[in-house]
Structure 1
Amino acid sequence: MHEALRPAAVPYYEDPSPGSGALPPRAWWSTSDARYVSLNGAWRFRLSETADAHGDDFARPEFDATRWDLLPVPAHWPLQGHGSPAYTNVVYPFPVDPPRVPTENPTGDHRRSFDLPDDWPGGAALLRFDGVESCARVWLNGAELGTFKGSRLPVEFEVGELLRPRGNVLAVRVHQWSSGSYLEDQDMWWLPGIFREVTLIERPEGSVADFFVHADYDHVTGAGTLRVDCEPGGSVSVPELGLDLATGESATVPVEPWSAEIPRLYDAELATEGERIPLRVGFRTVAVEDGVFKVNGRRILLRGVNRHEFHPDHGRVLDLETMRQDLVLMKRHNINAVRTSHYPPHPAFLDLCDELGMWIVDECDLETHGFEVIGWRGNPVDDERWTPALLDRAARMVERDKNHPSVVMWSLGNECGTGRGLSAMASWIRDRDPDRPIHYEGDPSCADTDVYSRMYADHAEVALIGRRTELPLPDAESDAKRRSLPFILCEYAHAMGNGPGGLSEYQRLFETHERCQGGFVWEWIDHGLRQRTRAGVEFFAYGGDFGEELHDGNFVCDGLVFPDRTPSPGLIEYKKVIEPVRIDGDGAAGIVRVTNGYDFADLSPLSFRWTYEVEGDAVDSGDLEVPALAPGATAELKLPRVPGGGSGTPAGEGEAWWTVRAALADDTGWAPAGHEVAWGQFAAAASTTTAPRTSAASTSAAPTSAAPTEAPHTKTPRRAEGGVVLLGPGTFDAATGALRYLDHFQIAGAPRLDVWRAPTDNDAGSGRHPDLQLDRRWREAGLHRMRHRLDGVAIGADALTVTTRVAPAAGDIGLRTVFTWTATDDRLRLTVDVTPEGDWTVPLPRIGLRLGVCGSLDGVEWFGGGPGEAYPDTRAASRIGRYTSTVDALQTPYVRPQENGARADVRWVRLRREDGQGLLITGDPDFWFAARRWTGEQLDTAEHTYDLTPSETIWLNLDHGQQGIGSGSCGPGALPQHWLTAAPATFSFTFGALETT
């Protein structure tokens, strides 16, 4: 071959090996008496379009980079004005040709000059990078240290002999694309850069090279056994336990165990000749026994979330305060477990998990999902050339995180298909750490795992798995093994936009079947990047907003908290569903039942308080003495006598409810005393017909303060001048029967039947289940463009009747609707009868009334479910009460606008303007209520929150029914009992004016 045509050697960034020059991986510790020098701060930075646009001259100490830009480290350069972020879920944003990457390969050259402290002792030292995406080449003072990949894992180099007292120059070349990118196809933004800390660490003679804390707990004897292996040898002391041991030596003493509920840690110190390291030791034992995953001998229930590292301004750059904020929010919402999807988190996060208490499934930095698109051809996890890189990633995870009691399971990675490389990883992990089970979801045979894990299995399948009666595998031996394993939903309940629905039904399955040990909601946070329009309006950007050729839109926004970490209604719902104390009762019998749902803790840290309310007003309240129940135990307690009657007897007119709350009795590390952990609510008497969260059918009266003092007189409709009909306080258009005025309030949009809602992300569904793509099916049926035909207006002796047909163009389905208006002196009552016509093959999005009122009526008060939004399968957290708000505050600002803000089980609602005048609406039966300053159609067309322009009209939805939410954006849709099928319906509303109070 001619020399000029000889293929070039594969460059290091395309070599599938993990890199070169790095030291073996070891445990991570944050402090010791050795010196640490942070190299974070302002670095000089140059971005190139290709990997080889410039030579290596920039690594020379004398190179002049003063004209380069300044870039903070840690940071992602696309979030600092250099290039743009890009989002894909599955597909690679480059040709799939492993291990090759495109010539167009954004490459960032970084330079940092630094001096050593004056008292730096010299000798051995390490340079550590905690996270660089996706491939780096490193020089110190002109000498090349090596190359590495594995973005979310640490790497260290020995640098002691290269250091100078002054004028050290660290140079790092970072490539966005490398062979490592094929292993990092996680569902997230592609964001290159040095995004975790860079640290120089002194290594004195005789300092710790590595150590492994083994702290087991025997739940039968209550004894803990401690052994700390260390290289070189030394000693470990635990003053509280009276222990002073040589490393490698074991001791067994009585201890208090560590758990996520009671995260008991013992302060200890590891000492060698050259270093002292403070430790926090938690004693606990993890095992799979009799097909059940156990900690300290007890089955645990994972109330978990998947957590990506994310900040709306900084991407995957998180400070300690933000990590703690995440954990505090989780703990306050009853979450007890985190799957670190899909890579090990910043190591300081695990320190916090040890401290505050959280079960951790630690997942390797590995995903090759994009190979699924091409039938898994060339998948690196089944290609031996990549096995060293896979083993390197497994080792760097396990060695870094092995000393955390919070880590109770290792995960091989995510969505990688199957292959020999995964088996090699599992074998290495078992050999290194046989005391923790191994998780992986992508292999149905569970050949390499100790748990059976699934994503988005629907409720029916989970029930089968819980009974160990799921469909068998073809291989009998594999089937028998899998059937013997505990079951975990590593992802379920896709929290994208409005939702997820169906959480309560999942939780009942977890509590019913011993094998079903909970799961992890996808996911913790919306990954919206904070941006501003040209007009300065803030919004959160998602896929496609940065001009990406390939992207997956707002699928990157599927969290339980919004990008700014404001809890979404989904998180409030999840907190209620997974609360660790169950409270229910029988108001008629005057009994409340309290069940301890914790795995380890008794109820002594909680205080209980009852409230007795009539029509939403607190009549009486007091403390409830609840015994310190052991886990799983139930107590049945008598409710107190209330003023004006016996136990459970209403003390006044109206609907009465008991609410019992469990709150922290004392401050904790994650919440102050008084923080509500759980609550239960039940009707005070059997005569109360509405049960919250289970039925939308009841008869509701107007609030006592608005009710007439004597029997009302039925009014007769009469024609008047100007082509109007007068009926009680209402003025109607005689030709159309449309309501124009209610008393002196103008009706901007007459009441009409409304069946459309701006589809939610879960309504849109996914390609996995076309029948759950309700958005598409609704539009195909024309439900977004319904036409209203007037068939007749009849004026009777005591009613105004308007008959319409509501139907879409191009089809023969429709809804025959009869509006019957009656009145008293000061109230209008509307009864709506709806009869479906034709063959309806899709559920209705909603069914109810829509009307427009003056925009000044922006003060809202209601009696019913609240305080937040609720839908048929997301209403566990909705409790009956009297609430106040503004119209604007009723809205939920989902990153991509969609149906939101409905309140469930509403008996009555008042809308007021500043002078106190307004409207009163009551429903029969109870109804869903929503109010917004834009129509459902405007909400439907909005792509971002800035697309919603408030109008001078407030649009009210008074709904008799709503379609359930489900989790169809990635998982199952709404359960059948939450579908709104087209069927005959009758419902009524009463309207009246409020006077100034």
Structure 2
Amino acid sequence: MSYVEDPGPGRGSLPPRAAFTSDAPALSLNGAWRFRLSPSLAAAPAGVEGEEFDDSAWDELPVPSLWQLHGHGRPAYTNVPYPFPVDPPHVPSDNPTGDHRLRFDLPADWPAGSAVLRFDGIDSCGQIWLNGTELGVTQGSRLPSEFEVGALLRPSGNVLVVRVHQWSAGSYLEDQDMWWASGIFRAVTLLARPAGGIGDYWVRAFYDHTTGLGTVRVETGPNVVLAIPELGVTGHPAGEPLELPVEPWSAETPRLYDGTLATAAERVPVRIGFRTVTISGGQLKVNGRPLMLRGVNRHEHDPHTGRVVSPETALADVLLMKRHNINAVRTSHYPPDPAFLELCDTHGLWVIDECDLETHGFELLGWAGNPSGDPRWTEAYLDRIRRTVERDKNRPSVILWSLGNESHTGENLARMAEWVHDRDPSRPVHYEGDHDCAYVDVHSRMYATHEDVERIGRREDDNARRRDLPFLQCEYGHAMGNGPGGLLEYRELFERYPNCQGGFVWEWIDHGLAADGHFAYGGDFGEQLHDGNFVIDGLVFPDRTPSPGLIEFAKVIEPVRISADPAGIRIGNHYDFVDTGHLTFTWVLEEEGTEVARGVLDVPSVHSGQSVTVPLPALPSTSGESWLTVSAAWASATTWAPAGHVVAWGQLAVSAARAAEPLPRRGPVFRTGGRLVLGAGEFDPATGVLSSLGGHAVHGPRLDVWRATTDNDRGEFAGRPQAELWREAGLHRMQHRVITVDADGEELVVRTRVAPPAQAFGLFADYTWTAFEDRLRLRVEVTPDGEFPGTLPRLGLAMAVPGTLGSAEWFGGGPGEAYPDSRQAARIGRFSSRVDGLQTPYVFPQENGNRTAVRWARWTDPDGAGIRVDGDPVFDFTARRWTAAALEAARHTDDLLPDDVVHLTLDVAQQGLGTASCGPGVLPRYRLVAQKTEFTLWFRAVPGH
């Protein structure tokens, strides 16, 4: 059997050890390598390992890289299916094979003796030679492999050759819902290993929360001494336990002590975090405190380089997470680059470190042939978990080991868990696929409904083992497109039940790849088999711009809760460990969105899990609708945010809107030049549709129920997709029948019926227009006619206004978009934006940009002239330069071409979002059903400057 199809873990590599640096010489071999791609192993050139092989005609390729992103072949995306025949351990003969060659010299002072060649990641299998001698074969793409090369090195002219295969037996273990792409995608380093040096170490640092004492002991080789200058420790024998007072490490207070491990030959810097992980009373605890995991799943992704993620990009991820109140990461579904975990240690994130394992494609075959229960794969499974644990064992941020993802169950997984329990009893084991929790330490679920979480929280599970374990959602809140909805209700459940300890939103980033004018997803590279835009499911866009979903999540999980209380303002501390002493509380009073006063709120330090009520500050009187916004911000800079960074806010209603003034005399309806004129409005006499307002050409408003569908509307995980039902009902092609246009007297009354073709049901829509000086009042009465088969996408009015009205201003919810089950991040204020800025550029275009609870809005041209709409009391709106039909038809953002008008929707209601793209649908309270509805809007023209 070829090594490519060997189900074993590879050959020739050294035993796994921790990732660390030292003062021993190291040489990076990253950079430009010679490269040639062959369509198969059989077609690959012979003799590439030879030192005299002529590679002068080959291309250059950067290492690290994925060759498909440099013009050699094309990436492909699948979520579940393997893109090759499932015939384990065999792979196609047409197996793209990339030969990499590098010539390098040693520095003049490079020492003789042992040296290790380290590869941090090769996808999916590599055969390696140095100076004509084979070193071995790697499998386990996202795990390190090291080879002893000291005897082979020479001062100059070293030739390193790596033959990488796109497919291998290991590919069956790496079906991880991401782009299939190949290459040497992490660092390559040559490490001198001095005699008497430190080959490996494990800093075992624990914290006793009852005494405040930390205990540190280092498992390493002989003659190693430990120094921790800040603690007064020098020359301590590393293997002997040491107990002393310390400050503990947590994600909220990531206290690290800088130290060194040293022998006469080598010094290794270490960063020590003292913390203890336990499970007791059915709760996951660190340092004696139960955790609430406000987490995300993170794939490694860059829109230009794929899984090649720079340290700067990894830092950007961590800073963004911290700034949006995220406190935990599951490294889905493989260990990340070690630099990321160092950042988690430094800035403070709880980590579930996941092994490089997923066999999801076997689910489509009923799990027949799944390697998890096949003894041929046992060593590969054990090898992968060993390399994960040994590499990352010194990271205080890592609090659970995860065996992998979506690989069903089987003896090989049980053996992995047994090995971890024996090797590292200080960290619990996670694996969602062990549904009976036979060999894991926490009960984990994916996309459990709110009802399921409630049942688990009440300990009504019929499995006694699960009932006694902490529960977390390793994946929930599927952040695909516009959404997720329902996050607030999940948080409420997590806080209600002590055994429900939060979870990890799927996922952190959209995996879009940069293309001409847009981001590409599955199918954009001509893949015969692909899963479309299912790879676009993150809280940040591919360029790491926060999506509305991230803004909403940050608000839902904010660690401080600010709310109204009969006695004033209630401040609740939802941190796990720290008090609120590091925060400054400020307030701003706004009248109809305009600031009236501001100040500092005197709030005593609130302990974790406690709350306090403080009196309202002295506020000036206001006559209009007024809101008090209270914010909690960092008093001084942290490693991840500047002073003044807001972590939480709340709003309190102070005074209601002004009482309506008496209405002036109504104006009459009259006919002139074939038109109906009412106040500032002109109407089509045949249809009763408004055609002009204050000289601005308009069309509409008319009743409308359709919205461009979202990924969640199209999702199948909660039954038949809502979008499919809506289309089946014909809601995307409603037709209007004018019944009567009554233009007598002081009201224009238009009776219509709005219904889809081929159906018997519809909606009667009666429009009553009345003029009061420069304003038009529109009262709309909607009455269902017949039996509607399900929900409505939305209910409101659609109209078009001149394209010159490109500026929007409104008083209501903002600044960003909001929907019924995703609106916690919308505060009441006065906001402005260009119409183009109101769009959310979802990689796969869909319904977006809804502004909610709007009291009034206006759209104006550069001179300030335009149209204003007032709610009675509120409405929702969108404003965009394309129709809902164009938005529905688009597949990428650059498909959207602006019309010469601005299309407005003015809504009384919207269907919620839910997470049916992968998870539960819209909760009942957020479903929009046809029912008798009345609403009123006011229209008027706005004069220019």
Whether TM exceeds 0.5 here: the answer is: yes
In structure 1, the residue matched to 2:386 is: 395
Q: Does 1:734 align with 2:699?
A: no
Find the aligned partners of 1:22 and 1:412 in 2 and give their Cα distance.
22
Q: Which amino acid aligns with 2:623?
A: E
Where does residue 908 of structure 1 map in the other structure? 856
Q: 1:530 aligns with which of 511, 514, 518?
A: 514
Q: What amino acid maps onto 2:878 in structure 1?
A: A
- Residue of structure 1 aligned with 2:83, choices 90, 93, 97: 93
2:4 partner SS: coil
**1:496 aligned partner:** 480
Deviation at 1:958, TM superposition (A): 0.4
Matches within 5 A, 1:115-134: 115-134=105-124
SS at 2:879 equivalent:
strand
Paired with 1:38 and 1:642, the residues of 2 have a C-alpha distance of 63
Partner Cα distance (1:105, 1:445) in 2: 39
Task: Give the equivalent residue in structure 2 for 1:633.
Answer: 610
- Answering whether residue 870 of structure 2 is matched by residue 922 of structure 1, we say yes
Q: Which runs of 5+ in 1 are unaligned?
A: 1-9, 473-478, 533-537, 644-650, 689-699, 703-707
Query: Counterpart of 1:194 in structure 2: which amino acid?
Result: I
Residues 522-601 of structure 1: pairs in structure 2 closer than 5 A? 522-532=506-516, 538-586=517-565, 591-601=568-578
Q: Does 1:765 align with 2:709?
A: no
Deviation at 1:701, TM superposition (A): 7.9
User: SS of the residue aligned with 2:495?
Assistant: helix
Question: What per-residue deviation string (whole Å, max 9, x for no partner) do you get for residues 532-562 of structure 1?
Answer: 0xxxxx1000000000010000000000000
Match of 1:239 among 202, 223, 229: 229
CA distance in 2: counterparts of 1:824 and 1:925, whole angstroms: 18
CA offsets 1:690-735 (integer angstroms, 9 cap, x no match) = xxxxxxxxxx989xxxxx8x852211111112x1111111111111
Write the deviation string for residues 338-394 of structure 1: whole angstroms up to 9, x where unpaired: 000000000010001000000000000000000000011110010011000000000
Counterpart Cα distance in 2 of 1:953 and 1:757? 18
Which residue matches 1:712? 664
* Cα drift, residue 461 of structure 1: 0.8
- Cα drift, residue 841 of structure 1: 2.1
Q: Does 1:799 align with 2:747?
A: yes
How far did residue 828 of structure 1 move? Answer: 0.7
Query: Using the alignment, how far apart are the partners of 2:750 and 2:663 within structure 1?
Result: 27
Superposition pairs of residues 368-447 of structure 1, within 5 angstroms: 368-447=359-438
1:303 aligned to which of 286, 291, 294 = 294
Letter in 2 for 1:656: S
Structure 1 residues 911, 390: closer, same or farther in 2, change over 3 A?
A: same
* Equivalent residues in 2 for 1:91-170, closer than 5 Å: 91-170=81-160
Partners of 1:982 and 1:531 lie apart in 2 by 42
Q: Which amino acid aligns with 2:763?
A: L
Shift of 1:508: 0.6
Q: CA deviation at 1:55?
A: 4.7
What's 1:657 paired with? 627
Percent pairwise identity:
60
- Given that 2:251 and 2:327 are in contact with CA atoms closer than 8 Å, whether structure 1 keeps it comes out as yes
C-alpha contact 1:426 1:448 (8 A) present in aligned 2: yes
- Aligned match for 2:649, one of 665, 668, 679: 679
Counterpart secondary structure, 1:59: coil
Partners of 1:590 and 1:755 in 2: how far apart? 43
Q: Root-mean-square deviation (CA), in Å?
A: 1.1
Q: Is the 8 A contact 2:591 2:625 kept in 1?
A: yes
Counterpart CA distance in 2 for 1:112 and 1:631 is 56
Aligned to 1:705: none
Task: Kindly state the Cα deviation for residue 652 of structure 1 after the two structures are TM-superposed.
Answer: 2.5
Residues of 2 paired with 1:825 and 1:401: CA distance?
A: 73
For 1:184 and 1:76, how far apart are their aligned partners in 2? 16
Q: Distance in 1 between matches of 2:391 and 2:785?
A: 65
Counterpart in 2 of 1:814? 762
Q: What residue identity is the alignment partner of 2:921?
A: G
- One-letter amino acid of the counterpart of residue 92, structure 2: P
CA contact (8 A) 2:634 2:646 kept: yes
Asked if structure 2 preserves the Cα contact closer than 8 Å seen for 1:903 and 1:929, the reply is yes
Q: Following the alignment from structure 1 to structure 2, what is the Cα–Cα distance between the partners of residues 190 and 276?
A: 40
- Distance of 1:820 and 1:701 partners within structure 2: 23
Q: CA deviation at 1:232?
A: 3.6
Report the CA distance between 1:466 and its aligned residue.
Answer: 0.7
Q: Is the 8 A contact 1:701 1:907 kept in 2?
A: no
Counterpart of 1:879 in structure 2 is: 827
Cα contact 1:584–1:594 (8 A) shared by 2 = yes
Determine if the alignment matches structure 1 residue 848 to structure 2 residue 796: yes
CA contact (8 A) 1:701 1:922 kept: no
Identify the residue that residue 648 of structure 1 maps to in structure 2. Answer: none
In the alignment, which of 320, 324, 327 is matched to residue 329 of structure 1?
320
CA distance, structure 2, for counterparts of residue 105 and residue 784 of structure 1: 46
User: CA offsets, 1:478-499, max 9 Å, x none?
Assistant: x221110000000000000000
Q: How far did residue 246 of structure 1 move? A: 0.6
Q: TM-score, normalised by structure 2?
A: 0.99
Distance in 2, Cα, partners of 1:231 & 1:56: 43
Deviation at 1:247, TM superposition (A): 1.7
Partners of 2:551 and 2:447 in 1: CA distance = 21
Task: Assess if the C-alpha contact under 8 Å between 2:567 and 2:613 holds in 1.
Answer: no
- Measured in 2, the distance between the counterparts of 1:759 and 1:460 equals 26
- Asked whether 1:973 is paired with 2:921, we answer yes
Show the 5 A alignment for 1:129-528. Answer: 129-244=119-234, 245-470=236-461, 472=462, 479-528=463-512
Structure 2: any 5+ residue segments left out of the alignment?
none
Specify the SS of the correspondent of 1:862. strand
In 1, distance between residues paired with 2:878 and 2:222? Answer: 67
Q: Look up the SS of the partner of 1:601 in the other structure.
A: coil
Between 732-741 and 888-897, the greater mean CA deviation after superposition: 732-741
1:273 Cα deviation (Å)? 2.9
Give yes or no for contact 2:34–2:59 (8 Å, CA) kept in 1: yes
For 1:603-614, list aligned pairs within 5 A: 603-614=580-591
| Structure 1 moving runs of 4+ over 3 Å | none
- What residue number does 1:861 align with? 809
Q: Secondary structure at the match of 1:464?
A: helix
**Could you tell me how far 1:590 is from its partner in structure 2?**
6.2
Supply the distance in 2 between the matched residues of 1:231 and 1:951 (Cα, whole angstroms).
Answer: 71
2:258/2:272 contact within 8 Å kept = yes
Aligned partners of 1:221 and 1:574: how far apart in 2?
36
Aligned residues of 1:409 and 1:437 also touching (Cα < 8 A):
yes
Q: Equivalent residue for 1:616?
A: 593
Shift of 1:795: 1.4
* Residues 865 and 878, structure 1, Cα contact 8 Å, conserved in 2: yes
Hey, what's the Cα distance between the residues in 2 that align with 1:540 and 1:804?
43
Structure 2 CA distance for aligned equivalents of residues 314 and 902 of structure 1: 33
Structure 2 CA distance, aligned partners of 1:15 and 1:373? 23
Counterparts of 2:607 and 2:217, CA distance in 1:
31
Assess if the C-alpha contact under 8 Å between 2:9 and 2:380 holds in 1: yes
1:756 aligned onto 2:740: no
Following TM superposition, by how much is the alpha carbon of 1:307 offset from its aligned partner in structure 2, in angstroms? 0.1
Give me the whole-angstrom Cα distance separating, in 1, the residues matched to 2:207 and 2:225. Answer: 21
Alpha-carbon offset, residue 452 of structure 1? 0.2
Structure 2 match to 1:694 = none
Classify the secondary structure of the residue corresponding to 2:96.
strand
CA contact (8 A) 1:656 1:683 kept: yes
In the alignment, the residues of structure 2 paired with residue 926 and residue 463 of structure 1 have an alpha-carbon distance, to the nearest angstrom, of 34
Residues 729, 756 of structure 2: 8 Å contact kept: yes
Amino acid at match of 2:711: D
Contact 1:209–1:232 (Cα < 8 Å) also in 2: no
Letter in 2 for 1:425: M
Taking structure 1 as the reference length, what is the TM-score of the superposition? 0.94
Q: Residue type matched to 2:44 in 1? A: H
Partner residue of 1:78? 68
